[in-house]
């Protein structure tokens, strides 16, 4: 990345979003299938609004594209003002995709002009944040459209060769890596970009542990299902058992069984036969935790994951499936949110969620870090979330 100018990187991030939206019709880009999901065109507009609001607004030469967009495309920044209710994002038919494209061009032109000159540090950081923010929404865009399509009985295809978790190298998913534990460091350090929730770097005390080299596969999960995993209360957290029964869970979110007991998996390339060698994905924390208990193991803490990953002990750490950890999403000791509206980016979500580590096949290239802390509520299944096991040494 080093030698690439921020202007080039900006252009690259922005055009990647457009490439991701390209296979989607105007209709596809408009719909919201549940409150957690946002329409594609909302994602495209919201990440643009981020640059307009935090970087461009207030510059004398910048003309706001449409003042009404501030209300429509603010996600959750209370400090910026009121906003369109989240569950109603799918009701906004206008602006349409063409106008959203015009909005993007308008902001891109202004950003391009801005980035011709050296920026002062604060501004440069906000542009950097905006690019990483857009990358997060690139993953959300794919997660969300997958969910939208899954609600359509025709099970449409996003693209014939869309991203999907790949099998590990032979044997990669077996075996354990051991650690002696002790006082170790986690959290981000150095000059590179990180989100505020990755800092400050700090010491933690770990007991000896073992962590699986690979992630849990569909084949492993089939054994769990066959063994009554979704019908045995003793394997589940109480809230998880409530979800199993209330939601009727019998398998990961996108598995579909046929009458003869064969499983398929709905993917961005449509319905596919379930491949037992691929990582299991789209499971909740509750399911990950129950699976680990069934297997006589447990989930790793985020500190265990990070120290093992930093040591290079993990296969499939990145680019396949996010890996649930046993750690609740809480501030690191000494954490301090940034002042102002961007301080709402991460800190205010630090309750009722669990941390996931690594990255997934939907994560854009260059967006992964060993210190990265992703987070979702324990019931969430629409992220590309899987499982890596850990255990205490015998």
Q: How many C-beta atoms surround the C-beta of residue 172 within 10 A?
A: 14
* 270 binds its own copies, rule: CB under 8 A: no
The answer to whether the peptide bond before residue 200 is cis (omega within 30 degrees of 0) is: yes
Exposure string over 293-314, b if 16+ CB within 10 A, otherwise e: bbbebbbbbbbbbbbbbeeeeb
Exposed / middle / buried, residue 363 (Cβ in 10 Å: 0-12, 13-18, 19+): buried
Closest CA to 193 of 345, 350, 14: 345
Query: Could you identify the residue written with the tokens 């009985």?
Result: 153
Nearer to its own copies, 86 or 132 (CB): 86
Asked if 245 is part of the footprint of its own copies (rule: CB under 8 A), the reply reads no
Which of these segments, 189-197, 257-265, 267-275, 346-354, binds its own copies (CB under 8 A)? 346-354
Question: Is 289 a binder of its own copies (CB under 8 A)?
Answer: yes
Contact pick of 203, 311, 312, 365 for its own copies (by CB under 8 A): 203
Site string for its own copies, 156-175 (x = CB under 8 A): x-------------------
Q: Please tell me whether residue 105 binds its own copies under the rule CB under 8 A.
A: no
Q: Is 333 in the site for its own copies (CB under 8 A)?
A: yes
| Single residue of 45, 97, 211, 268 touching its own copies by CB under 8 A | 97
Q: Is 389 in the site for its own copies (CB under 8 A)?
A: no
CB burial of 151-161 (b: ≥16 within 10 Å; e: otherwise) equals eeeeeeebeee
- Residue 330 Cβ vs its own copies, minimum distance, rounded to whole Å: 6
Choose the stretch contacting its own copies; rule: CB under 8 A; options: 7-15, 56-64, 238-246, 380-388: 238-246
Tell me phi and psi for residue 376, to 5 degrees.
-145, 155
- Per DSSP (E only), the strands in 72-208 are 176-179, 182-186, 202-206
User: CB 135 → its own copies: shortest distance, Å?
Assistant: 22
Binding of its own copies by 351 (CB under 8 A): yes
**28 touching its own copies, by CB under 8 A:** yes
Does residue 25 belong to the site contacting its own copies (CB under 8 A)? yes
Q: Which tokens belong to 94?
A: 């206008």
CA 373 – CA 391 distance, rounded (Å): 21
What is the dihedral sign for C-alpha 198, 377, 176, 254?
A: negative
Q: Is 202 in the site for its own copies (CB under 8 A)?
A: yes
Give 146's Cβ-side CA count (13 Å radius).
26
Contact status: 178 vs its own copies (CB under 8 A): no
Binding site for its own copies (CB under 8 A): 25-31, 33, 41, 68, 71-72, 76, 78-79, 84, 88, 90-97, 148-149, 151-154, 156, 183, 202-205, 207, 233-234, 236-241, 285-286, 289, 326-328, 330-331, 333-334, 344, 348-352, 354, 378, 392
């Amino acid at each position: 990345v080093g030698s690439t100018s921020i202007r080039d990187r900006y252009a690259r991030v922005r055009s990647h979003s457009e490439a991701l939206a390209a296979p989607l019709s105007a209709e596809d880009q408009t719909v919201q299938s549940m409150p957690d999901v946002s329409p594609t065109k909302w994602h495209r507009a919201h990440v643009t609004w981020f640059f307009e609001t935090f970087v461009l607004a207030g510059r004398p030469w910048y003309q706001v594209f449409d003042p009404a967009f501030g209300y429509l495309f603010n996600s959750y920044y209370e400090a910026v003002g009121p906003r369109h209710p989240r569950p109603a994002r799918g009701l906004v038919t206008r602006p349409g995709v063409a106008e959203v494209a015009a909005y993007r061009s308008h902001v891109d032109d202004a950003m391009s002009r801005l980035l011709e000159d050296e920026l002062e540090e604060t501004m440069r950081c906000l542009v950097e944040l905006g690019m990483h923010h857009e990358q997060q929404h690139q993953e959300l865009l794919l997660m969300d459209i997958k969910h939208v399509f899954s609600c359509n009985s025709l099970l449409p295809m996003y693209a014939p060769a869309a991203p999907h978790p790949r099998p590990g190298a032979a044997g990669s998913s077996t075996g354990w890596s051991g650690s002696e534990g002790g006082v170790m460091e986690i959290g981000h350090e150095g000059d590179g970009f990180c989100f505020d929730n990755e800092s400050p770097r700090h010491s933690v005390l770990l007991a000896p542990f073992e962590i699986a080299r690979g992630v849990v596969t569909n084949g492993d999960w089939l054994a769990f299902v066959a063994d009554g995993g979704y019908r045995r209360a003793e394997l589940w957290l109480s809230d998880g058992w409530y979800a199993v029964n209330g939601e009727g869970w019998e398998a990961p979110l996108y598995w579909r069984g046929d009458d003869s007991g064969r499983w398929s998996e709905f993917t961005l390339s449509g319905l596919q036969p379930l491949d037992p060698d691929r990582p299991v994905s789209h499971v909740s924390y509750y399911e990950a935790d129950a699976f680990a208990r069934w297997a006589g193991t447990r989930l790793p803490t985020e500190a265990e994951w990070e120290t093992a990953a930093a040591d290079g002990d993990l296969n499939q750490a990145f680019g396949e499936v996010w890996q649930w950890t046993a750690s609740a999403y809480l501030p690191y000791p000494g954490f301090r949110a940034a002042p102002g509206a961007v301080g709402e980016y991460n800190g205010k979500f630090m309750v009722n969620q669990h941390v996931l580590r690594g990255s997934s096949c939907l994560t854009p290239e260059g967006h992964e870090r060993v210190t990265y802390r992703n987070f979702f509520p324990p019931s969430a299944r629409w992220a590309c979330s899987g499982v890596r096991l850990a255990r205490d040494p015998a």
